[in-house]
Amino acid sequence: MMRHPKAWLAILAAVLLLPVFVRHAIATEIWIFAIFGLGLNLLMGYTGLLSFGQATFFGSAAYVAGYILKYYGINV
């Protein structure tokens, strides 16, 4: 199962040390884009289809978050 245990150990160490070196907001943004990238990789890698549906949800959520922040002053 694990062909490169040192690589997995390095990735695990990087994930665990991320909050130490990066602010919470930036770490959250990193995770959001990582999940978006994983979904796109899953879609393109296994099916070969390019779908903008996922990007539409991502973009509309970003728009709503910006709108709420601008007009209501609520930190999202």
What average pLDDT score do residues 4-31 get? 86
- Rounded CA separation 60/32 (Å): 14
Q: Are 38 and 54 in contact (CB under 8 A)?
A: no
pLDDT at position 63: 94
With a cut of 60, say whether residue 25 has pLDDT above it.
yes
22 pLDDT band, cuts 50/70/90, is confident
With a cut of 90, say whether residue 74 has pLDDT above it.
no
